[in-house]
Amino acid sequence: MSAIAEEIRQAYAAVGITLDQPATFGTYYRLLCAGCGRILGHVGDKLLPGMAAEIVSRQGDLYASGLLGCSCGHQKRMQEKPR
Partner 1 sequence: MSEMDTILDAEERGRTGLWPFWRKPYAKGDPLPAFPAPASRAHRFDEGDPLPEEYKSLLLRMLRHEGERAGNKSFLGLMATCLDLAEALFPDRESKLIKAEYLAEELKHAIMFHRLAVGLERDFALRDVPYAHYSFHLPRETWADDAYFHFFVDLNGAFHSRDWRESSYVPLAKMATTVERDELGHSEMGYHFLQQICSEARGRELAQRLLAKWYPAALDMFGRSDSPNVPKFIRWGLKTIGNAEIRDLYKGYVDRKIAALGLDVPDERRDRKFL
Applying CB under 8 A, which residues contact partner 1? 23-28, 30-31, 38-48, 51-52, 55, 58-59, 62, 67-69
Minimum CB separation of residue 29 from partner 1 in Å reads: 9
**Closer of 20 and 77 to partner 1 (Cβ):** 20
How far is it between the farthest Cα atoms of the chain?
39
Minimum CB separation of residue 27 from partner 1 in Å reads: 5
C-beta contacts of 3-6 below 8 A and 24+ residues apart: 3/49, 4/45, 4/46, 4/47, 4/49, 4/52, 5/29, 5/45
**Closer of 67 and 82 to partner 1 (Cβ):** 67
